[in-house]
Structure 1
């Protein structure tokens, strides 16, 4: 078996994600398929590249050696492909273009709508990805012009050198979603202790999400049962009272679910706009800020939080 770039890309994804499950989601393949591919690579090299355990996958000594040589090749190929695609798109384009990326957010629709009004005649494309790291590398590789990402507190993102960035929100609190009939839902602010007996659900494929939640729960002396899954599944379980889950404070009200702030705001993220140095940020940032204010106005609890913290984002659009 000869190693190809796709094999090296898979190894890098496993190392970056720290687990086969998360790496498979980022690569868009099934976990069994990725596991089989890793086993074939290891058989070809005659040794294990990752040690597997309950906490995930960690590179072995040989794995670190292979990764040190694989990463420059993968990044070089990504840059080559990105540059080729950029040139091909530029050749086809009749006018200006803007390729934006974003992690999941309630403000994407408003941002996109505002950009289309602000930049008439511009070909605007959108890529949504669960991984902020993947979006940052897409910007660095020339496959995106600009990306809106969130950085979990305590789990800093590795922003590629040379990119420019602006902070939209230095510390956005993460609220908690719970069933309407949950006892804690009767209160305007929820204490972590009130959720000690609940099953928590987090999406481990979101960069830093599980580590951030685990750190906060541990600091509070809590060790609740945890489910790993996407937040669409989480919502259905929350409604049934089977789990609670962190959520964005801009999450809209629902008749079947309560959204509440956590006392002391222990969970938080930083919101960043990151761009290629050749991309002007002003228009994109201004429209993103306006879209964010719109979303905050619709979420009453978060709007009150912004007012209490004297945030300029609390003012009307």
Structure 2
């Protein structure tokens, strides 16, 4: 087996994330495929590159030696691809490369950006990891990133990026089955969910730790499940779990959305860009899109009308 750049990229992803599962998601492949690929690489090199344990994957001394040689090659190839694409984009016209964590404001933001910059190609990358998107901005592979920062879990932001705050404190609501007893109330107490399974995606930076802190502060210790939110929606509809959700979430026939009393869970919504990117018009367009998404959600609209702290972008212009 001959090592290729994609193999070296996989090794770097495993080392950076400390997890085969997270690395596989970052690389856009399944965990079994990545595990098989790692085994083949180790067989080809004749030694183990990572020690696997309950806490994740850690490079062995031999692995650290290989990574020290692999990273410059991976970085050089990434720089080559970035520069080549940028050159091609300049030949074809301007390009705006947008990154975002999941948000219901995203479609409206893209629509406004394309209307505001009609001559530019607006590209999009969505990732559950804010840290991954910020690294892409710092490396020049994205121009701007819209991310959220879980309260109590500050993001590790690369140096040299400009920032705008969209919402200083966005409350996180809870999604639960419409037949759940707590769904009969307009506002839910955490104590009423103490016996439920809580589901959270551990790949969302800070969300797992943030939820555990809030539940511990409330004096409850419910069972926690790991899974993506597409899986969570199915379990919630069946009454098997509850989960934090964005306040812009729109209730469905099989899913209820309620604010939590006292708003114990919250995130900060942030926009980051390289210094050569015009951040103010991007921020203004995102504010408009977020306001639109917020007022489209009946629970969020009711929360705002009941005196919830409104960010500037939630105040009509």
TM-score under structure 2 length normalisation: 0.89
How far apart, CA to CA, are the structure 1 residues paired with 2:220 and 2:56?
22
How far apart, CA to CA, are the structure 1 residues paired with 2:209 and 2:68?
25
Structure-2 residue corresponding to 1:294: 292
Deviation digits for residues 242-265 of structure 1, max 9, x if unmatched?
Answer: 111111111112222111122232
Structure-1 residue corresponding to 2:96: 98
Q: 1:71 to 1:193 in 2, by over 3 A?
A: farther
1:63 deviation in Å? 4.1
Which secondary structure does the structure 2 equivalent of 1:308 belong to? coil
Aligned residues: 315
Show structure 1 runs of 5+ residues with no match. Answer: none
Contact 2:173 2:258 in 1 (8 A): yes
1:12 deviation in Å? 2.3
Structure-2 residue corresponding to 1:77: 77
How far apart, CA to CA, are the structure 1 residues paired with 2:197 and 2:100?
29
Q: Relative to structure 2, which stretch is displaced further, 165-174 or 61-70?
A: 61-70
1:176 deviation in Å? 0.7
Deviation digits for residues 145-171 of structure 1, max 9, x if unmatched?
Answer: 111111222333222222212111122
Structure-1 residue corresponding to 2:38: 38
How far apart, CA to CA, are the structure 1 residues paired with 2:66 and 2:220?
39
Structure-2 residue corresponding to 1:227: 225
1:11 deviation in Å? 2.2
1:89 deviation in Å? 1.8
Show structure 2 runs of 5+ residues with no match. Answer: none
How far apart, CA to CA, are the structure 2 residues paired with 1:53 and 1:302?
42
How far apart, CA to CA, are the structure 2 residues paired with 1:40 and 1:229?
28
1:86 deviation in Å? 0.9
Contact 1:297 1:316 in 2 (8 A): no
The one of 173, 177, 200 equivalent to 1:179 is 177
Q: Relative to structure 2, which stretch is displaced further, 46-55 or 237-246?
A: 46-55
Deviation digits for residues 144-200 of structure 1, max 9, x if unmatched?
Answer: 211111122233322222221211112222111000011111222222222121112
The one of 183, 187, 190 equivalent to 1:189 is 187
The one of 235, 238, 246 equivalent to 1:248 is 246
Structure-2 residue corresponding to 1:12: 12
Structure-2 residue corresponding to 1:277: 275
